[in-house]
Structure 1
Amino acid sequence: MILIKNGEVHVGNGEVYNNCDVLIDKDKIVKVEKNIEVKSDFEVIDATNKVVFPGFIDTMNSWGAKGPAWGDDDLGEHTDPIAPHLNSVYAFDHDAMNFQSVYEYGVTSFGFSPSIYNVIGGKSCVFKTYGHNPYNMLIKEDVAMVASVSSSAKSIYRNKKMCPMTKLGIYALLKQALIDAKNYRIDGEYNSKNAELKRVIDKELQLFINCTTKADIDSINLLLKEFDLDVVLTGAYCITDSDNYSFKKVVLGNLTDSMLTYNYKMDIEAINKMINKGALFS
């Protein structure tokens, strides 16, 4: 057992306990309270005047797919803009993950996401950030289907002279893929793309949609009115408080990258209003 004593403990839901103890049994936190009795077999860590956090979770990233020295990219399958049958679990490289050592900064797990350069990029999963076997590090497979209506997709396929070269193409492909999945019958001829997207239609999988601008967010809000889906907006830096939005789950994106101009367009006051109305933000 490990006992962390007298720390400023943040429990992860906004609550903070001062001069509090945390008792850990192997890989589980079993107690968070003041004045836990010290026993002879405890390893005691004095956290006086220190801050104690649970492990941080990165909602969506591509760590572990770039090779041990970032010399590769196994999530960028840019041969087909509609690729729901791709499974990111097979792209994870534990050596590449350990090379980045993000666990040293307190990030203990993360959502491993396929490329946002496809309109539908495939399924994401969740891994631990430390380990020596990728499938011992795997926490959960098939977490969400990842899609994108941002400019990333058209930038890739424009050079290939194939759809989508414009926003028109992006939304047309996404809508048709969802319609095909909605009409797909599992007792008919098997289609791997439709079979995976049918799980989104049936709400077995969340649909993560990357949409960085307000125009993207407004457009996807309009398109999705035809479908009853469990949607999470990702990279949604320009989200605003609108009664027209049905979105209740939002991943803002990397707020520390000063090179992203979208960061400067965030409306923190509007985000706070949405949180007060029950929306979940990461």
Structure 2
Amino acid sequence: MILIKNAYIYTMGEKNYEHGSLLIKDKKIEYVGPNLEEKDAEIVIDAKGKFVMPGMIDAHCHLGMWEDAVGFEGADGNEIVDPVSPELRAIDAINPMDRCFEEALLGGITTVATGPGSANVIGGQFSVIKTHGDRVDDMIVKETLAMKCAFGENPKRCYSDIKKSPSTRMATASIMRETLMKAKEYVQNKKKDKDAKFNMKYEALEKVINKEIPLKAHAHRADDILTALRIAKEFDLDITLEHCTEAHLITKYLKEGYQKGIVIGPTLSNRSKIELKNLTFETAGILEKEGIEFAIMTDHPVIPLQYLPVCAGLAAREGLKEDTALRSITINPAKILGIDHRVGSLEVGKDADVVIFDGHPFDLRSKVHKVIINGEIVK
């Protein structure tokens, strides 16, 4: 057992504790509340003057898919050969030996959704993993989280460069529709004919058609966000909206709530392409004022993963409430990823993923004192 005592505990649940304790047993949270004396604890951490919170969660990144300082050999996130590649799986490319996993821990990030990039119209399957381990199989929280798809500049740029469709937004939407129609037909035929011809692409999309997993839609510009929603509604699919750079321009449509989640970012970035011209840290605060729940992402390696709390802190500086900013990198992404029964808040029965800071996590001078994942002190 591990006992953390005398701490300011920010639970992301119903109540915080100014002088609290947290007890960990068998990889789970056994107790969180007012200070507790536990004589049987093997390890006691006196966290007086420190800030204890759930391990942070990045709902959209590419950790382990583009390895740090490696170049082509470590770039395994985009298969720019076929714009429809749903059969690709993140877990077959994630390298947990990438040093960015270590840096993620030093930043207090304990769980991430990681997967393919946005070169393809349909790019493959995202996974949710913990950030500690040396074999990805042992780090998995959810092997098949979502199906990555992309709208806007990236697919048209990547394929026009090789003289192949899509080179327009029309073609991206058309390819998406045709693929979903064929996948839907494939799923229907499978039910009727047990000997139906196997198709690996449509087999991978079956979970999308059956609404077992959502589309994870890359879309920065307002019209691309609305195109993603239009197609999801047309085929009655679940969808999460990723990046959403211009979300603050179309809040009245996002308030309709068809999407299963909104993940904004990376905002700590330059305007590297036209669809980022309205990039601003004010987006989060505007969404909050409109009552729209969201998470904040780094899109690592675009923004190094350890700067996730910096991104949330800058959003707070530009109008987002501090409490909401903390929720946007803990419980909100957990809800969007469908793993809030396990992580995202410090509550009894949840995974013991805990971060102890020596100061407030939004203070740039603060450092991580301890990181605990699955009840094990890993930093």
Q: Would you say same fold, with TM above 0.5?
A: yes
Partner secondary structure for residue 94 of structure 1: coil
Deviations 1:234-267 (A, max 9, x none): 1112113224742241111223335564432754
Deviation at 1:98, TM superposition (A): 5.3
**Aligned partners of 1:96, 1:221: CA distance in 2, in Å?**
35
Deviation at 1:191, TM superposition (A): 1.2
156, 160, 172: which one pairs with 2:162? 160
Q: Do the aligned partners of 2:21 and 2:34 also contact (CA within 8 Å) in 1?
A: yes
Residue type matched to 2:29 in 1?
Answer: I
Asked whether 1:242 is paired with 2:252, we answer yes
Residue type matched to 2:128 in 1?
Answer: V
**Aligned partners of 2:26, 2:232: CA distance in 1, in Å?**
45
**Aligned partners of 2:121, 2:159: CA distance in 1, in Å?**
10
What's the counterpart of residue 37 of structure 1? 37
Q: 1:174 to 1:135 in 2, by over 3 A?
A: same
Residue type matched to 1:44 in 2?
Answer: V
Deviation at 1:68, TM superposition (A): 5.8
**Aligned partners of 2:271, 2:52: CA distance in 1, in Å?**
31
Partner secondary structure for residue 65 of structure 1: coil
**Aligned partners of 1:25, 1:13: CA distance in 2, in Å?**
20
What's the counterpart of residue 27 of structure 1? 27
Q: Do the aligned partners of 2:63 and 2:101 also contact (CA within 8 Å) in 1?
A: no
Partner secondary structure for residue 98 of structure 2: helix
Residue type matched to 1:2 in 2?
Answer: I
Q: 1:242 to 1:220 in 2, by over 3 A?
A: same
Can you give the 5+ residue segments of structure 1 that lack an aligned partner in the other structure?
none
Asked whether 1:255 is paired with 2:270, we answer no
Query: Which aligned pairs between 1:120-199 and structure 2 lie closer than 5 A?
Result: 120-184=122-186, 185-186=189-190, 187=193, 188-199=196-207
Partner secondary structure for residue 252 of structure 2: coil
Deviations 1:187-230 (A, max 9, x none): 32211111221220111111111111111112222333311111
Can you give the 5+ residue segments of structure 2 that lack an aligned partner in the other structure?
296-332, 334-379
Query: Which aligned pairs between 1:207-222 and structure 2 lie closer than 5 A?
Result: 207-222=215-230
Q: 1:225 to 1:208 in 2, by over 3 A?
A: same
Q: State percent identity of aligned pairs.
A: 30
Deviations 1:91-122 (A, max 9, x none): 01111155652111111111111121111001
Q: 1:158 to 1:180 in 2, by over 3 A?
A: same
RCO higher in structure (CA 8 A, sep ≥6):
2
Partner secondary structure for residue 280 of structure 2: helix
**Aligned partners of 2:167, 2:14: CA distance in 1, in Å?**
44
Q: Do the aligned partners of 2:218 and 2:243 also contact (CA within 8 Å) in 1?
A: yes
Q: Do the aligned partners of 1:125 and 1:142 also contact (CA within 8 Å) in 2?
A: yes
What's the counterpart of residue 96 of structure 1? 98
Deviations 1:134-170 (A, max 9, x none): 2222222111111011211111101100001111111
Deviations 1:16-42 (A, max 9, x none): 321111111243221101121231544
Q: Do the aligned partners of 1:97 and 1:129 also contact (CA within 8 Å) in 2?
A: no
Aligned residue-pair number: 280
**Aligned partners of 2:56, 2:281: CA distance in 1, in Å?**
26
Residue type matched to 1:242 in 2?
Answer: K
Q: 1:215 to 1:66 in 2, by over 3 A?
A: same
**Aligned partners of 2:146, 2:238: CA distance in 1, in Å?**
10
**Aligned partners of 1:26, 1:258: CA distance in 2, in Å?**
44
Identify which range, 183-192 or 206-215, moves more after superposition: 183-192
- CA RMSD, 1 decimal: 2.2
**Aligned partners of 2:238, 2:164: CA distance in 1, in Å?**
30
**Aligned partners of 1:127, 1:142: CA distance in 2, in Å?**
10
Partner secondary structure for residue 145 of structure 2: strand
Partner secondary structure for residue 205 of structure 1: coil
Identify which range, 5-14 or 46-55, moves more after superposition: 5-14
